[in-house]
Amino acid sequence: MSGNKLKHIFRSHRGGSVRCVFLLALLLLLSACGAQTPAELGFLAMDTYVELKAYGDNGEKFLSLANEETVRLEALCSAHSEKSSLYRLNSGESVRDAELDELIARAIAVSRETQGAFDPTLLSLSRLWGFGGGGAATVPDEEDISLALESAGYGKICFSPSGEPELNGVQIDLGGIAKGYAADRFAALARENGVESAFGSFGGMVCAVGTKPGGVKWKVALRDPLSDGFAAVIQVESVCVSTSGAYERYFTHDGKLYHHILDPKTGHPAESDLLSATVVDPSGIRADALSTALFVMGEEDALEFCREHGVCAILITRDKRMVFVGGIEPVKDSVDEAYSPVFEK
């Protein structure tokens, strides 16, 4: 046998064992990363399509519990379903429900913090504009808007010493935090069921539990307010990400767009210089409420608020800037070329 042939056999043997070792290492790495397929579940709730996934042994059981929980929360805090506790409370019934009381208290706390940009007492106004409750989408008379504004205002709500809200004529709309609360309950249920890696999408609100298996952060794509595509991608772990924008629910009349986020000062859809506001926060309720509030505030006040309160946010402005506040950054090269990224402290 010639020396060359020997070298060749030796090389191919060595190549084979290197390949084996490489494959073994890859298998070990994949199993360490838990390259399992996640359990997945999708269903309609809270006026949106909810999509959940979870890794690990308990994944399927956890997702079915999370499904039940989301449906339960809808029955608790929908302002439009006649059977919900909130609907009954708004109709003047005495409803004793500590969870609902707590939710209302938390919503009012954000109203105070945002000086009323977030106000969960705009239900009549929202109905007047035809958002929710099956009403026709119309531009109401100014007189009716003024009347509806008079019967709104978070400052009118008082709490009894035992924490029960007294509405004093206002009606409560928890639409600005319901999905955030569902996200918080999703994360809490994951913990209770020993699930370390899960992801829930509740319309404009997502909840990342832990990381993907193996410690890889979850990628969250931010919706492009001007198209059906994505404007940027961020990477997160153990947080909720909520986006509020004028594109979620709206109607057009005489060529003008009217959307569902109302400015409590004017009673009209907020005339924001933002196309969308995204908040990244460990608390779903907070992310949900603050994204609505920042949108109402507009860029300047929103930036000031974020700096003062240490909020992590991404503001997409009408003049096509994407303003990253509080240290959050996009995945490299992920910002759509239609926008120029700006980084603010």
* Binding positions for ligand ADP, rule: CB under 6 A: 118-120, 122, 126, 131-132, 173, 175-176, 179, 203-204, 244, 248-249, 260-262, 264, 288, 291-292, 296
Check residue 201 for interaction with Mg ion (CB under 5 A). Answer: no
Size of the site for Mg ion (CB under 5 A): 5
β strands within the chain, DSSP E: 39-45, 48-54, 158-159, 165-166, 198-202, 205-209, 218-223, 230-236, 240-245, 250-253, 256-259, 274-281, 312-317, 321-325, 340-344
Closest separation in Å from C-beta 269 to ligand ADP? 9
The residue whose two tokens read 């899960």 is 198
**Contact call for residue 288 and Mg ion (CB under 5 A):** yes
Minimum distance between the CB of residue 133 and ligand ADP, rounded to whole angstroms?
A: 10
Q: Report in angstroms how near the CB of residue 160 gets to Mg ion at its nearest.
A: 28
The token duo for 242 is 């909520």
Of all helices (H) and strands (E), which one includes residue 128? helix 123-128
For residue 42, give every residue at least 6 positions away whose Cβ sits within 8 Å of its Cβ, in sequence order, or none. 49, 50, 51, 52
- Give the one entry of ligand ADP, Mg ion, none that residue 208 binds, where binding means its C-beta sits below a cut-off of 5 to 8 angstroms depending on kind: none
Q: Residue 118's binding partner, choosing from ligand ADP, Mg ion, none, with beta-carbon cut-off 5 to 8 A by kind?
A: ligand ADP
User: β-strand 205-209 against 158-159: which pairing, if any?
Assistant: unpaired
Output Rg (C-alpha) for the chain, integer angstroms: 25
Residue 334, both tokens = 């992920």
Q: How far is the CB of 97 from Mg ion (least distance, A)?
A: 22
Choose the contact partner of 286 out of ligand ADP, Mg ion, none; CB within 5 to 8 A by kind.
none
Residue 22: both structure tokens together: 């490489």
Stretch that binds Mg ion, among 172-180, 273-281, 301-309, 327-335 (CB under 5 A): 172-180
**Integer Cα distance of 183 and 200 in angstroms:** 7
Residue 316 half-sphere exposure, CB side, CA atoms within 13 Å? Answer: 23
Helix (H, G, I), strand (E, B) or coil at 233: strand
| Among 130-138, 140-148, 261-269, 281-289, the segment contacting Mg ion (CB under 5 A) | 281-289
Closest to ligand ADP by CB, 262 or 322: 262
Query: Is residue 254 helix, strand or coil?
Result: coil
Residue 120 CB, nearest approach to ligand ADP (Å): 5
User: In this structure, which amino acid lies at residue 42?
Assistant: G
Cβ-based nearer residue to Mg ion, 203 or 214: 203
Among ligand ADP, Mg ion, none, the one that 122 touches (CB under a kind-dependent 5 to 8 A) is ligand ADP
Residue 119 binds what, of ligand ADP, Mg ion, none (CB under 5 to 8 Å, by partner type)? ligand ADP
Piece of 72-80, 219-227, 244-252, 325-333 that binds Mg ion (CB under 5 A)? 244-252
Nearer to ligand ADP, 201 or 291 (CB): 291
Of 70, 197, 292, 317, which one interacts with Mg ion (CB under 5 A)? 292
- How far apart are CB 221 and ligand ADP at their closest, in Å? 16
SS3 at position 109: helix
Q: What are phi and psi of 298, to 5 degrees?
A: 85, 170
CA nearest to 146, candidates 296, 271, 268: 268
CB of 78 to Mg ion, least distance (A): 15
- 263: how many CB neighbours lie within 10 A of its CB? 20
Q: What is the spatial distance between Cα 246 and Cα 310, in angstroms, rounded to a whole number?
A: 25
Between 39 and 74, name the residue whose CB sits nearer to ligand ADP. Answer: 74
Q: Residue with the closest Cβ to ligand ADP?
A: 175
Interface positions with Mg ion (CB under 5 A): 176, 244, 288, 291-292
